[in-house]
Amino acid sequence: MNWQEVCSHPALKDLPFKLETDRWGHIVMSPASNRRSRLQSLIARLLDRAVDGGEAFVGCSLATTEGVKVANVAWASADFLRRHGNTDPYPSAPEIVVEVLSPSNSRAEMEEKKALYFARGAQEVWICSDEGVMTFYDTVKARKLSLLVPAFPTRVELPF
């Protein structure tokens, strides 16, 4: 199945899972949790408040050499959005790509996703733990603060 077929397939529309594909076009599903969804929304709101000239959004589909990956949150500049609009999936990565970890994510999976996002042009990849602790990566190493959004908190906390 190609990505458009996955997105438009009636049986896949209301699943309580995040869908991605692997390099062979097989569908890969991850269970959704309300806590993780709330962290994603909070990160997107904080990004929108902290950075002008673009837009933060959840569920960013990105074509990679290993299939279509769906970043939990992304921030794209106005220039990126002018170039790519609502293309599904994006052929290149927005400037900031964020993954919110779930219990099923392995370290190896996150390392692979970081490499795939950077290979598609992401400037930073952020990883948020289930506890809300943020780790910021550029193409060289992990950083205590984001270089693109230095004011972004190192820990995001849900109100309740």
- pLDDT tens profile 103-122: 888 899 999 999 999 999 99
- Do the domain assignments include residue 45? yes
Question: H or E segment at 62?
Answer: strand 54-64
- Do the domain assignments include residue 107? yes
Using CA atoms in the order 14, 20, 22, 28, what is the torsion angle rounded to 10 degrees?
Answer: -50
- Do the domain assignments include residue 130? yes
User: Does residue 158 sit in helix, strand or coil?
Assistant: coil
pLDDT: which is higher, 37 or 7: 37
Neighbours of 101 (CB within 10 A): 20
Instruction: Tell me the per-residue pLDDT of 9-48, one tens digit each, with 9 for 90 and over.
Output: 776 666 556 666 777 776 676 667 889 999 999 999 999 9
Furthest-apart CA atoms within the chain: distance in Å = 43
Q: How far apart are CA 139 and CA 96, in angstroms?
A: 12
For 10, which DSSP code? Answer: G
- Do the domain assignments include residue 151? no
Instruction: Tell me the per-residue pLDDT of 119-151, one tens digit each, with 9 for 90 and over.
Output: 999 999 999 999 999 999 999 999 999 999 999
Residues 6+ away with beta carbon under 8 Å from 95: 54, 75, 76, 77, 80, 122, 123, 124, 148
- Do the domain assignments include residue 122? yes
- Do the domain assignments include residue 9? no
- Do the domain assignments include residue 57? yes
Q: How many domains, the chain?
A: 1
Range of the domain at 84: 33-143
- φ/ψ bin of 15: left (φ > 0), alpha (ψ from -120 to 50), beta (otherwise): beta
96: domain CATH number?
3.90.1570.10
- Do the domain assignments include residue 3? no
| Residue with tokens 């769906």, as numbered in its chain | 70
